[in-house]
Copies of this chain bind each other. A is one copy, B any other.
Amino acid sequence: MIENPYYTHEFHGDYDLIGLGEFALEEGGVVPDLQLAVATFGELNEAKDNAILVSTWYSGTHQIWRDVYIGPDHALNPEKYFIVVVNQIGDGLSTSPHNASGANASIGMSRFPRVRIGDDVRAQEQLLREHFGIESLALVVGGSMGAQQTYEWMVRFPDKVRRAAPIAGTAQITPHDELYVTALCDAITSDPGFKDGEYSSNADVVDGLKRHAGIWAVVGFSTEWWKQELWRGLGFGSKEEFLTGFLEPYFTAMDPNDLLCMAWKWQHGDVARHAGGDLAAALDRTEAVTRIIPIDEDMFFPVRDHESELELTPHATIRVVEDPAGHLGLFGITPTYIGQVDQYLQELLDTEA
């Protein structure tokens, strides 16, 4: 267990830790006492049919959804919907390598078992059912790894997902993404301070975390983000200031083992596992009315990778968000981003399902 001030209410605002008890993982490990960090917005109606599930991306938490995507002026409107944002396992708020203590002390740090996207989705389903009595979701939505979880929901629990909106992410990991994640992980684990996961503070791994941020700079944004100096819109005076004032602090605050836990999940996300490796057969099980929402300048979840899955997904249409930020447009850092996403989500929520 490592004390890390980033993963606190001070930085992340309100959320509840909800325990699911012992949780068996698909790769064979066990979490003795799985705690999910959950933030809710709005109220569940009597019919319990106005619930929206939001899942989180690599390095992300409920915070960015609260600050950018959720509110009375957004499609994810808490005045109409009961919105449940579940922080993914390993994200630093839910049970994670760095915070495993007490009943989870045996799985701390480098001993944390491997977790799959499917584990998150099973845990979310159990949470919604047991804790909130929710058996049907008006919408499942998430970006990047959240899109992976969305597809997993669609395939695993087709009768529970009325609508789905995977944003900037695919049902099946692509080989390019797999290589990208490897490069990110290598930047961290190669830091001598990482000590095979048994560092005593994330500060010991600051060089590796900075290199990890440096690779995100190259692939996470688009070439136009840099060429047009769009970081100026965030108040920075140079790209170096943007790196040292935004991207590096963002990642160096985080826990290396937590990032690696999420990275492995990302790298192994694949709904085809539910159909013996047949992606088409897996996606054919989906029943949700679906909007697939790629970002046009995304360098590692490019539009065409969404288009090839669109063809295999029965009730899906595609809406492409234009954003020169690229994949990290997900943060809502381009002023025109959220309006497009709101429009596409609203269209979907207005569709009978």
A192 contacts which chain B residues (CB < 8 A)? 192
| CB nearest neighbor in B for A300 | B223
User: Which single member of B183, B186, B214, B239 contacts A175 (CB below 8 Å)?
Assistant: B239
Of residues 294 to 331 in A, which have CB atoms within 8 Å of B's CB atoms?
299-300, 302, 304-305
With the chains together, A227 CA to B309 CA distance in Å?
13
Question: Are B190 and A226 in touch, CB under 8 angstroms?
Answer: no
Chain B CB within 8 A of A191 CB: yes
A224 contacts which chain B residues (CB < 8 A)? 304
With the chains together, A224 CA to B183 CA distance in Å?
18
A191 contacts which chain B residues (CB < 8 A)? 190
With the chains together, A123 CA to B22 CA distance in Å?
70
A336 contacts which chain B residues (CB < 8 A)? none
> Measured between C-beta atoms, what is the minimum distance from A91 to chain B in Å?
24
Question: Are B183 and A223 in touch, CB under 8 angstroms?
Answer: no
Question: Are A182 and B214 in touch, CB under 8 angstroms?
Answer: yes
A223 contacts which chain B residues (CB < 8 A)? 174, 176, 300, 302, 304-305
Of residues 275 to 300 in A, which have CB atoms within 8 Å of B's CB atoms?
299-300
With the chains together, A180 CA to B239 CA distance in Å?
13
Question: Are B175 and A215 in touch, CB under 8 angstroms?
Answer: no
Interface centre among A176, A187, A191, A229 (most CB of B within 10 A): A176
Chain B CB within 8 A of A207 CB: yes
A179 contacts which chain B residues (CB < 8 A)? 214, 217-218, 226, 239
> Measured between C-beta atoms, what is the minimum distance from A251 to chain B in Å?
14
A207 contacts which chain B residues (CB < 8 A)? 190
Question: Are A227 and B176 in touch, CB under 8 angstroms?
Answer: yes
Question: Are B302 and A183 in touch, CB under 8 angstroms?
Answer: no
The 8 A CB mask of A222-245 against B (1 = contact, 0 = none) is 011111010000000001000000
Query: A179-B226, A186-B214 given. 5 additional CB < 8 A pairs?
Result: A176-B221, A180-B218, A192-B192, A215-B218, A227-B305
- Residues of A at the B interface (CB closer than 8 Å) are 174-176, 179-180, 182-183, 186-187, 190-192, 207-208, 211, 214-215, 217-219, 221, 223-227, 229, 239, 299-300, 302, 304-305
Q: Which are the 3 A-B pairs with shortest beta-carbon distances? A: A175-B226, A176-B223, A176-B226
